[in-house]
A and B are shown apart, each in its own frame.
Chain A
Amino acid sequence: MAKHETPMLDQLESGPWPSFVSDMKQEAEARAKNVNNVEYQIPVDVVDDLLGVLELSYKHGRTHWKHGGIVGVFGYGGGVIGRYCDQPQEFPGVAHFHTVRVAQPAGKYYTTEYLRQIMDVWDLRGSGLTNMHGSTGDIVLLGTRTEQLEEIFFDLTHKYNTDLGGSGSNLRTPADCIGTSRCEYSCYDTNALCHFLTNEFQDELHRPAFPYKFKFKFDGCPNCCVASLARSDMAFIGTWKDDIRIDQEAVQAYIGGEIPPNGGAHAGRDWGKFDIQKEVIDLCPTGCMWMDGNELKINNKECTRCMHCINTMPRALRIGEDTGCSILVGAKAPILDGQQMGSLLVPFVEVNPDNDYEALINYIDKIWDWWMMEGKNRERLGETIRRLSFQKLLEACDMEADVRHVLHPRENPYIFWKEEEVPGGWERDIKEFRKFHQR
């Protein structure tokens, strides 16, 4: 028998999509039965009370969670999100309902052995509910009490060699796409870079010293499956400098209909026979492709690496071999000054594990030095750049301006010249001027 009536939530048990309500009820029941005799460290009926308070929110159309409050583990300034219920008398099981962010492995691959270990910790010390994964990428363990936080941290670090993720004004847990581990488009090993930088910057991740949050995301190619370009202060997006590799026989196989276009992604509808002219060549944004008899030709110098032809004919076309990444900076959601996507700062840089990614770390250090000096409280990097100008960012990074930095040159002539750029500087002699120009 359920502890609270949940007539509205019950309506979310029907329909084909996995029902989070059914899943919560199954967890509530598992805790009540406790067949493994777990010595639950937080109330057994925590999930029942979560269902109850959620039903109340459905009734009121308003949340019933209070502000966080400062909770965490000793020495860290992030990784735990404090949460308290505003109806603790009615729902004591969720009176404290803090979230623990746990660092996820790069690529989000798991062995079942490891997943079960994490689940065992959460069975004993938490609500038994998770998010796999949170928006930023962490394993999110949803709901525990303050006195369990150090215990959870001790278990994770001592038994399972696993650390907490980031929260607050610090480096947030970096996240990556699947990369070369299972994708032929990936221009660098995103898993390796994500893991390396996460470890390199553990201090920045755990101890808030920034003006506001800062995110790294790693996309292996311009398809941007992990949305780095929209969601990270520094986006590392794989790209290449040389030629797209062409297998002319496979091109003919696509034309002949032997291989489905776009890896079979359009198989749900009859779009007619594949037409390379209409579907690839005419859609190329730079018009740099053509058929020369039976040969597909690409003027690679004009290619902007949009991925369309490669996505459409993955067995015929492959990314180049001189690979690295572009760095785009300043993406963020709309709060406060409006939404921003990343702006191109570094067109191409090598991604070299052999020298510990020296070239990338050089850019990161310079950007952080500048932002920590100039950024205001709760100002994301993108907003600092807009307030102070892209030019200032270039100076901070010791970079020259490049036409690739802009979509087009400025549309107003209000150029802020530097004094040293104008011969003679700003100091002039008015008396000398007046000799030739009467008042």
Chain B
Amino acid sequence: MAFVSSGYNPDKPMENRITDIGPRHFEEFYPPVIKANKGKWLYHEILEPGVLVHVSETGDEVYTVRVGGARLMSITHIREMCDIADKHCGGYLRFTTRNNVEFMVDSKDKVEALKQDLSSRKFPGGSYKFPIGGTGAGVTNIVHTQGWVHCHTPATDASGPVKATMDALFKDFQDMRLPAQLRISLACCLNMCGAVHCSDIAILGFHRKPPMIDHEYVSKNCEIPLAVAACPTSAIKPSKHVLADGTEVKSVSVNNDRCMYCGNCYTMCPSMPLADTDGDGIVIMVGGKVSNRIHAPKFSKVVVSYIKNEPPRWKTTTDTISKIVEAYANDARKYERIGDWAERIGWERFFEKCELDFTHHLIDDFRDHAYYTWRQTTQFKF
């Protein structure tokens, strides 16, 4: 392959350099019906799962067909979306915060053809390219992180468990039978690039072993004071280590009993890896939300302390999630999110109805937060 220059001159990096121009202006990308009716929308309605209409005070309507997508997308796939948008939507489309794609048309008679086109397209393996759904009181797309596809600290994969979970819950992506919307998120380690801590159901990758120490390389690869300072529980201290050949090297030691396996030291020092086939796995958290509707936003709570990684289909994880979703669907009242439901029936009932075991791992023992989660009342259920 021959090198194709963009015009950049490595000998004069500042020549013609353009910086700090930010993103393109959003108005360039509004479909005409959006541009004409911005700020004038009166109301919306979900006509069927995945299909919305928004009605403007001008009388204009915009019909939106929402489809799910794997967040990891190829340019071939995106070009196919562009073809569909060119054919049906005047060359416009948009993405949602939750990795869905929205195709918009300005009249009802364009909806059916668009829907048929989208649902007819499948990958050779049989999966839908553009499944319609993700609206209302159902399950919408999972927001997630990189996992084994691109990250250096994950305790699980992201794309795989997400695909497996959405396969298991696919009916609820295309239905609206649940008491309220159900938002699932996945973060592949507790750094939580995906900030899953306020999700109805959070799938969280978690390490369970303290870091290994590559003594020979610690002082070559790392700033030891930074690695020491990185530890939130002060478990790391500088130390000297004698290598097999008798050389004494500067290194660190870890007080394993204090380690919370956060991997923050590894982020600072590549000579302290902690990934481990048997140590790593998944934590399930439930009951969080970000909406202020009825009740204040809530953090998710840990309800399963560990499930081993089971690639490629993570069966125990998806079975556990399906069980929680079914118990919620059967028992919660209309408008109740999972967390609202669990609080109304009591967590003792939640574990019963979801057939989950409560173990000592689920009692908080991390700093000030902990005390406020214990039960300071004689009110409980037998």
Interface residues in chain A, defined as those with a beta carbon under 8 Å from any beta carbon in chain B = 8-24, 26-27, 30, 39-41, 44, 47, 50, 54, 57-58, 60-68, 74-76, 83, 97, 99, 103-116, 119, 122-124, 128-133, 135, 137, 142-143, 150-155, 157-158, 160-163, 175, 177-178, 180-184, 189, 191-192, 195, 198-199, 202-203, 206, 222-231, 260, 262-269, 271, 279, 283, 285, 305-308, 311-312, 314-315, 318, 332-339, 341, 377-378
Contacts and interface: CB of A to CB of B under 8 A. Distances in A.
Nearest to B16: A158
Interface string B225-244: 00001101000000000000
Given A61-B280, A76-B19, A268-B176, A339 B299 contact: yes
A99 B150 contact: yes
A24 B74 contact: yes
Contacts of B29: 105, 107, 109-111, 114
Contact of A23 (B93, B123, B181): B123
Contact of A206 (B3, B20, B42, B52): B20
Interface centre among B4, B16, B31 (most CB of A within 10 A): B4
Interface centre among B86, B123, B290 (most CB of A within 10 A): B290
Contacts of B173: 17
5 contacts: A18-B129, A109-B93, A112-B83, A142-B150, A177-B97
Contact of B170 (A11, A15, A106, A307): A15
Contact of A151 (B8, B276, B312): B8
Contact of B191 (A65, A230, A264, A333): A333
Contacts of B311: 8, 57-58, 61
Q: Is the interface of B mostly helix, strand, loop or mixed?
A: loop
A116 B24 contact: no
A226 B292 CA distance: 13
A389 B214 CA distance: 40
Contacts of A50: 149
Interface of B: 1-8, 10, 13-14, 16-26, 28-31, 34, 38-39, 41-49, 52, 54, 62, 64, 68-79, 81-83, 85-86, 91-97, 99, 101, 123-131, 135-138, 143-154, 157, 159-160, 163-164, 166-167, 170, 173, 175-178, 181, 187, 190-198, 229-230, 232, 262, 264, 270, 275-277, 280, 288, 290-295, 297, 299, 309, 311-313, 334-335, 366-367, 369
Contact of B46 (A9, A137, A163, A265): A265
Contacts of A106: 23, 26
A393 B197 CA distance: 25
A334 B38 CA distance: 37
A64 B38 CA distance: 47
A65 B78 contact: no
Please name the 4 residue pairs, one residue from A and one from B, whose CB atoms are nearest each other, closest first.
A13-B125, A265-B136, A15-B167, A333-B192
B40 to A, nearest CB: 9
Nearest to B87: A112
Given A231-B195, A307-B291, A311-B293, A105 B145 contact: no
Contacts of B46: 263-265, 267
B150 A83 contact: yes
Given A17-B128, A63-B154, A341-B299, 8 more contacts: A20-B163, A27-B76, A44-B1, A103-B23, A109-B26, A182-B41, A268-B178, A318-B42
Nearest to A26: B76
Nearest to A207: B20
A227 B124 CA distance: 36
A229 B290 CA distance: 7
Interface centre among B76, B124, B196 (most CB of A within 10 A): B76
B335 A283 contact: yes
Contacts of A105: 23-26, 28-29
Nearest to B71: A131
A421 B78 CA distance: 63
Contacts of A191: 26
Contacts of B74: 23-24, 26-27, 30, 47, 128-130
B75 A22 contact: no
B334 A279 contact: yes
